[in-house]
Amino acid sequence: MSRPILIAPSILSADFARLGEEVRAIDEAGADYIHVDVMDGHFVPNITIGPAVVKALRPHTAKPFDVHLMISPVDPYLDAFAEAGADIITIHPEAGPHAHRTIQRIKALDKLAGVVLNPATPAKMLDYLIDMVDLVLVMSVNPGFGGQSFIDSQLRKIEAIRKLIDQTGRDIRLEVDGGITTKTAPRAIAAGADVLVAGTATFSGGPARYAANIAALRGH
């Protein structure tokens, strides 16, 4: 069955001096999720935002906040991001000693739980987690910075995870993040992705372009 393609603009590429306005603009332009990249300068080589910014942005949109935690240790911060208004919390298995327990905690907070696979992390990492998660995020660049080029080897991983998801019969979203453009988006979709994270490709050209940029990523 073909599922609608959801677009999750990454606010990493937004104008940080005008974040509230930027979130409202991408909401009005047709974004499905608001993708929030949280980086700690330790697990990944960049520092972005924390729960206070998520909380400040929450009144600006009713769209789901898709919060990607690139922080280690991750467990001490789950409650804070849930309280700040995250709807989906995605974690890296490498970011804590017990990924299963981390996902249990996210579910206990009544949030959707996602697991993120870095380019070198195999699809097999999902074997004992897939029955718990609501979303799988495949990183098609190494996490840390926006504007990187798509790593082609991740297409095979997306295909493998799509098969795994289909075998479960569960409603699990397959998201791809990194180097998503109008050229790479169709390839990710053909491999089985149904959520595309796009930073540069959404925000280029300023607010007047956002709706056209989002439509182009959907293939319209």
> Given pLDDT bands bounded at 50, 70 and 90, which one contains residue 32?
very high
For range 51-70, the mean pLDDT: 98
pLDDT of residue 219: 86
* Right CATH for 6-218 from 3.20.20.70, 2.60.40.1220, 3.30.70.120, 3.30.360.10: 3.20.20.70
Give the per-residue pLDDT at 34.
98
Give yes or no for a cis peptide into 45 (omega within 30° of 0). no
Whether residue 20 is annotated as binding a ligand: the answer is no
Sign of CA dihedral 160, 166, 172, 176: positive
Give dist(CA 180, CA 201) in Å, integer. Answer: 7
Q: Which residues are catalytic?
A: 37, 177
CA angle 18, 21, 23 (to 5 degrees): 105
| Average pLDDT score over residue span 196-208 | 96
Q: What is the mean pLDDT of residues 11-26?
A: 97
Count of alpha carbons within 13 Å of 45, Cβ hemisphere only? 3
pLDDT per position as a tens digit, 100-137: 999 999 999 999 999 999 999 999 999 999 999 999 99
The CA R_g of the chain, rounded to the nearest whole Å, is: 16
Helices (H), the chain: 19-28, 51-57, 78-84, 99-108, 154-168, 185-191, 200-203, 210-218
- Each residue's pLDDT tens digit, 88-99: 999 999 999 999
Say what the pLDDT of residue 145 is. Answer: 80
User: What pTM does this model have?
Assistant: 0.96
Residue 85 assigned as binding residue: no
Nearest CA to 70 out of 155, 152, 142, 172 is that of: 142
Q: Calculate ∠ Cα 7-68-89, nearest 5°.
A: 95
Q: What is the pLDDT of residue 147?
A: 80
10 annotated binding-site participant: yes
Cβ neighbours around 15 below 10 Å, total:
13
Confidence band (pLDDT; 50, 70, 90) for 68? very high
Q: Which two tokens stand for residue 65?
A: 């906040």
Amino acid of residue 32: D
Predicted confidence (pLDDT) per residue in 136-173, tens digit: 999 999 998 878 899 999 999 999 999 999 999 999 99
Residue 1: is its pLDDT beyond 50?
no
199 in a known ligand binding site: yes
Reply yes or no on whether the pLDDT at 41 is more than 60. Answer: yes
Determine how many CB atoms are found less than 10 A away from the CB of residue 170: 12
Q: Is 192 labeled as ligand-binding?
A: no
